[in-house]
Amino acid sequence: MQILRKALYGLFFFTVYFCVQVQRGIQMRTFGNKVQGKHYKEKQAVYGILHGPSRKIGIIRKKNDHLLMLPGGGTENGENELECLEREVLEETGYTINKPAFLCQGTQYFQSRDGSTYIQNIGSFYSCSLGVKLIEPVEEDHELIWLTPKEAADGLFHQHQAWAVRQYFESLD
């Protein structure tokens, strides 16, 4: 009985979540290959597409390996998406954000770099602009650079991030 109750409870919340997403008109897409028989650690994450001058967007380049990523990351301690986005952008760039607007949601299946963990990254993507500089970036190996949409989409490490950038700029045209 308890197993059935848990299953129904999970199904109820999935149904509510799915219906809310459909009502919001969310575009959702999945990337990567899910390996059957492997347990995936679910990571809820939020990313910002920082629009700047001349239709360029702010991208984080990791200094040690030059990976390109959208600013953002995983939610912590029960924070909501906007709180997470504000915290992550501040930590990675030192700046606040202005006018965040929800764009889309994408899932990326991948393995950690050392191969020890399988990850399902569920990313929500927001457009926003930089506000004021409050602090020096906490993440010292992160550098904010400005790229054209094509440069960003072609260079981003994760497919769901590249897709979100394309979605954003297609919506502007």
Q: Tens of pLDDT along 117-152? A: 999 999 999 999 999 999 999 988 999 999 999 999
pLDDT at residue 53, rounded to an integer: 78
Tokens 């995936």 belong to 40
Encoded tokens for 96:
């606040």
The type of residue at 113 is R
- Sign for the CA dihedral angle at 35, 168, 74, 92 comes to positive
Q: In sequence order, what are the residues at sequence separation of 6 or more whose Cβ sits closer than 8 angstroms to the Cβ of residue 40?
A: 34, 109, 118, 119, 120
Q: What is the pLDDT of residues 19-75, one digit of tens each?
A: 334 444 667 899 999 999 999 999 999 999 999 878 899 999 999 888 999 999 999
Q: Determine the Cα–Cα distance for residues 158 and 150; give it in Å rounded to an integer.
A: 15
Decide: helix, strand or coil at residue 3: helix
Domains and CATH numbers, the chain: 27-172 (3.90.79.10)
Query: Does residue 166 contact residue 149 with C-beta atoms inside 8 Å?
Result: yes
Q: What is the pLDDT of residue 172?
A: 78
Q: How confident is the model at residue 102 (pLDDT cuts 50, 70, 90)?
A: very high
**Distance from C-alpha of 69 to C-alpha of 59, rounded to nearest angstrom:** 6
14 vs 66 pLDDT, higher one? 66
Question: Which of the four pLDDT bands, split at 50, 70 and 90, describes residue 13?
Answer: very low
Residue 10 makes CB contacts below 8 A (sequence gap 6+) with none
The per-residue pLDDT for range 78-87, each reduced to its tens digit, is: 999 999 999 9
For the chain, the first-to-last Cα distance in angstroms comes to 54
pTM reported for the whole predicted model: 0.82
